[in-house]
Amino acid sequence: MASLDKHYMSLALRLAKEAYMRQEVPVGAVLVAEGRICGWGSNRRMDGNRILGHAEMIALETASELLGNWRLMRSTLYVTLEPCIMCTGALLQARVDRVVFGCRDPKAGAMRSLFALGEDPRLNHRIKVDEGILAEESAGLLRDFFENLRMSKK
């Protein structure tokens, strides 16, 4: 499992790097169902002022279109940054079984940092959460992005 997790997370990291090149916050996501990639996305909030343009949301939409179903049971989402409240809610609604994320988001993370929504026993669905796969690479990309952004504003 660990080698597969690294493989899929490296693909999510590649998508995050593509977002970086488009001057978007570098977050990438890959959704795997039944051993195949069914959804993918990278942040696209700046592209058309998309409120819902988070990598996870785009990956969920891509997967549901490809599979012809909004229920994405028996699937795993790999994402470079811990999902926010909005994305965690969508993952719960889509019935995703597992989320693997790279680094924590201390300001908005809803799976470990600020909340543990995916594992809340009051909800009718729970998500298994694993963290830390390629965390340094994911965090480093985000750090570089925001350092460059601050420098360009000076």
Catalytic residues, by residue number, are: 56
- Number of other residues whose CB lies within 10 A of the CB of residue 60: 27
Q: How far is CA 129 from CA 2, 19, 37, 38, 152, in A?
A: 14, 24, 19, 19, 36
Query: End-to-end distance of the chain based on CA atoms, in angstroms?
Result: 45
The 3-state DSSP class for residue 126 equals coil
As given in the structure block, the two tokens for residue 133 are: 């796969």
**34: alpha, beta or left? (left if phi > 0; alpha if psi -120 to 50):** left
Q: How far is CA 101 from CA 27, 29, 110, in A?
A: 10, 9, 12
The 3-state DSSP class for residue 98 equals strand
